[in-house]
Structures are given as C-alpha cells and as structure tokens.
Amino acid sequence: MFTHDTEEKRTGIVKVTDLDFTTVKNAVDFCYGLSLTDKTTAELLNVHAFGDKYDIQVMVKKVSSWVLSNLNPFNFCLILNHAWVTSNDDLKTKCIQYYRDNVEQVALTPEFAELEKEVLRDLIGKSRFLDKTT
C-alpha cells in the first residue's frame, strides 16, 4: 500500500486526525461499495473533501455527480461554499449555472444572505458572463 519508508508503511495504520469519524467511515464505506444515498448533503460534501484530499478521483467524481444531480435551492449555498473552499471548478461552474437558472428561488433562502461577500461577488459576476448555452 505504501512505497516510502514511513510509519504508516511499517505499522499498516493510517491516522486521520483532521477529519471526523463519520466522514472517514462514510469514505471507507464508499470504498467498500456501500451506498451513501441516505447521507445528507453535508456528509456527502465531507466525503467529497476526503476524496479530494487523498486523491481518490472515483470518489470525487461519483459524489460530485450525486450532489449536483440533487442540487436545489435549500442545499445550494452549502454546495456553493464547498465548491469555493475546495476550488473545484466543475462544482463552481455547475453552481453558477444553477444560480443563473434559479436565482429567484436561491436568493430567497436565508443561507444566501449569509454567503461570504467574496463568494457572492464571484457567483453573481460569473453568472452574468456564463454562456447561456451551457
């Protein structure tokens, strides 16, 4: 599993200290093929962050796909913040498209008013210039 001479290679144990137990468990469950369809958007975004951190591209792609297919006005801000924090251009673009197409519903949510000014400025600015055919 490990090729360098590290403690993890010697012990066969990887200590994950910067993620909560639920996130690690959900990520491992995913790796073992268990369904994550009963998880919240926040839990799935944590699994997405895990996959991104440990470069598990199949995890990142599948979780992104599920999250984006379930994008709605009530989870939009959570997904948007995650996209900006992780600098995920694909998620950003999909969120910008969703915002442009659903601005009335999204802008009326309490979470929208709580968005960071920089994120909000980028979202609105980029939605103005996004190709209408995408």
Per-residue pLDDT tens, the chain, 134 aa: give them.
456 777 777 887 777 778 899 999 999 999 999 999 899 999 999 999 999 998 999 999 999 999 999 999 999 999 999 999 999 999 999 999 999 999 999 999 999 999 999 999 999 999 988 765 45
CB atoms under 10 Å from CB of 13, counted, come to 8
pLDDT of residue 131: 66
* The pLDDT value given to residue 132: 58
| Whole-structure pTM value | 0.83
| DSSP characters over 39-62 | S-HHHHHHHHHHHHHTT-HHHHHH
Domains of the chain with CATH codes: 1-70 (no CATH), 72-133 (1.25.40)
* pLDDT in the model for residue 15: 76
Q: How far apart are CA 82 and CA 100, in angstroms?
A: 18
Per-residue pLDDT tens over the stretch 77-92: 999 999 999 999 999 9
Q: Give the whole-angstrom CA distance, residue 125 versus residue 18.
A: 34
Decide if 79 contacts 71 (C-beta within 8 A): yes
Residue 7 pLDDT:
79
State the Cα–Cα distance between residues 102 and 72, nearest whole angstrom: 9
